[in-house]
């Protein structure tokens, strides 16, 4: 037997590999977590599977205290620990919510409660939970405008829509906030400020778990599906895991079961869904490295950038793509241009005498070697264009990091998004090169 080929050697290598993985630092001893544990225990929650820890790369999360097997319960959080609209309506805010017309939305009820309880400080029954919530968030709505300007165009547009939505949410809620003045010594304008509501909105938007829709008579007809889940919401996202999560009506607990295995002292993850990095950034304020769902979006303007302007059938081709849903969600991914992108390009590259074959293109049929090669050539040009543009944006981010030290954290996040997109584009370029060799 050759040296290094035996079972003992394999075990040694496996242990060496595991020991080289970044380990989390247990934070159970910190005062905020000691208080949170006491608070949770008083609400009938005890857990020996998980411990709060700080991990390189993901930050604060939950560490396995023991090995977890497939199908095993990760966490079961009693209903008494959940912060829902029931919690709000049964509180001192309930009377004000009930008499306000038009009825407040479930989101407004939750946000109002969070701001009010945070303002209460030591007097809040929810203080142990509030203490571990982030003081600030990194969703695009919280970023400085000059940082938002460095985002990919499609994400920048969504970020601006998000900001406008939250500003309108604040403006439309101010009269309701004024009605709460009898509850406070201070002026409500100083308590329910835009920054306070933005913090509460981000807390709900980034941390809430999903409950089955229910209707409260004193709230608007908007879906009432959100609940904040203390301690459980420390679980970070990974696109590489799967879990089963839902509220169990029999046990009256929100339960998560793993479909993966976890070794002792590993970080335990859940999956927020098969989201690409732009969606994760927009909704949660982070980027997932080597995210299999990550992609680079191709807009209509870029789609036709390298097509011949003299094509008299171009408007008709664009109309066909639009009518059949092939003008949106055209992407480059880790394995190259998406089928939708190549299909759109094949239709756009049809020669005049082949135009009547457009239905066959949408069905995935090969029209000609010329059409296949031309569409791959255009895809490659678009890919190279994106690579050049991405490098330009990375340089801009780097320069701003040198000039604006106060924005370093926000800029580093934007930089990581561009870096992931660059990796995808380079992978796509290699795939396209391999595909093109079949026609040479």
* Domains in the chain, CATH or no CATH each: 83-228 (3.90.1410.10), 296-438 (no CATH)
Q: What is the mean pLDDT of the chain?
A: 93
pLDDT at residue 102 is higher than 70 = yes
pLDDT at residue 8 is higher than 60 = no
pLDDT at residue 351 is higher than 50 = yes
pLDDT for res 22: 58
pLDDT at residue 19 is higher than 50 = no
Tens digits of residue pLDDT in 170-220: 999 999 999 999 999 999 999 999 999 999 999 999 999 999 998 899 999
pLDDT at residue 440 is higher than 80 = no
pLDDT at residue 5 is higher than 90 = no
Tens digits of residue pLDDT in 363-395: 999 999 999 999 999 999 999 999 999 999 999
* Secondary structure of the chain in HEC code, one letter for each residue: CCCCCCHHHHHHHHHHHHHHCCCCEECCCCHHHHHHHHHHHHCCCCCCCEEEEEECCCEEEEEECCCECCCCEEEEEEHHHCECHHHHHCCCCHHHHHHCCCCCCHHHHHHHHHHHHHHHHHHCCCHHHHCCCCCCCCCHHHCCHHHHCCCCHHHHHHHHHHHHHHHHHHHHHHHHHHCCHHHCCCCHHHHCCHHHHHHHHHHHHHHCEEEEEECCCCCCCCCEEEEECCCHHHCEECCCCCEEEEEECCCCEEEEEECCCECCCCECEECCCCCCHHHHHHHHCCCCCCCCCCCEECCHHHHCCCCCCCCCCHHHHHHHHHHCCCCCCCEEECCEECHHHHHHHHHHCCCHHHHHHHHHHHCCCCCCHHHHHHHHHHHHHHHHHHHHHHHHHHHHHHHHHHHCHHHHHHHHHHHHHHHHHHHHHHHHHHHHHHHHHHHC
């Amino acid at each position: 037997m050759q040296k290094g080929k035996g079972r003992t050697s394999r075990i040694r290598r496996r242990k060496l590999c595991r020991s080289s993985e970044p380990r989390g630092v247990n934070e159970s001893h910190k005062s905020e977590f000691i208080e949170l544990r006491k608070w949770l225990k008083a609400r009938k929650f005890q857990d020996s599977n998980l411990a709060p820890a700080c991990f390189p790369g993901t930050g604060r999360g939950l560490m396995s205290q023991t090995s977890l097997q497939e199908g095993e319960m990760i966490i079961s959080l009693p209903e008494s620990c959940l912060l829902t609209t029931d919690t709000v309506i049964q509180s001192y805010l309930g009377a004000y919510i009930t008499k306000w017309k038009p009825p407040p939305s479930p989101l407004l009820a939750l946000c109002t409660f969070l701001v009010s309880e945070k303002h209460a400080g030591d007097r809040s029954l929810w203080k142990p939970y509030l203490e571990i919530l982030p003081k600030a968030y990194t969703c695009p709505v919280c970023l400085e405008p000059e940082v938002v300007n460095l985002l990919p165009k499609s994400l920048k547009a969504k970020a601006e829509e998000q900001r406008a939505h939250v500003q309108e949410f604040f403006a439309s809620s101010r009269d309701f906030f004024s009605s709460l003045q009898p509850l406070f010594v201070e002026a409500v304008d100083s308590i329910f400020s835009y920054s306070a509501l933005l913090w509460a909105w981000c807390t709900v938007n980034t941390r809430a778990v999903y409950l089955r829709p229910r209707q409260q008579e004193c709230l608007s007809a908007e879906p009432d599906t959100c609940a904040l889940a203390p301690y459980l919401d420390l679980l970070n996202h990974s696109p590489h895991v799967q879990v089963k999560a839902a509220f169990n009506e029999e046990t009256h607990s929100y339960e998560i079961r793993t479909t993966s295995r976890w070794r002792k002292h590993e970080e335990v993850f859940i999956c927020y869904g098969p989201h690409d990095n732009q969606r994760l950034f927009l909704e949660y304020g982070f980027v997932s490295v080597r995210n299999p769902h990550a992609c680079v979006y191709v807009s209509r303007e870029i789609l036709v950038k390298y097509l011949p302007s003299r094509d008299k059938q171009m408007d008709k081709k664009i109309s066909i793509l639009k009518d059949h849903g092939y003008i949106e969600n055209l992407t480059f991914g880790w394995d190259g241009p998406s089928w939708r992108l190549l299909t759109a390009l094949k239709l756009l590259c049809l020669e005049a005498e082949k135009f009547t074959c457009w239905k066959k293109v949408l069905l995935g049929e090969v029209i000609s070697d010329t059409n296949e090669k031309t569409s791959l050539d255009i895809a490659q040009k678009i890919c190279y264009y994106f690579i050049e543009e991405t490098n330009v944006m990375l340089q801009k981010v780097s320069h701003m990091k040198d000039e604006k030290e106060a924005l370093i954290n926000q800029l580093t996040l934007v930089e990581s998004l561009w870096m992931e997109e660059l990796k995808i584009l380079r992978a796509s370029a290699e795939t396209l090169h391999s595909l093109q060799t079949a026609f040479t």
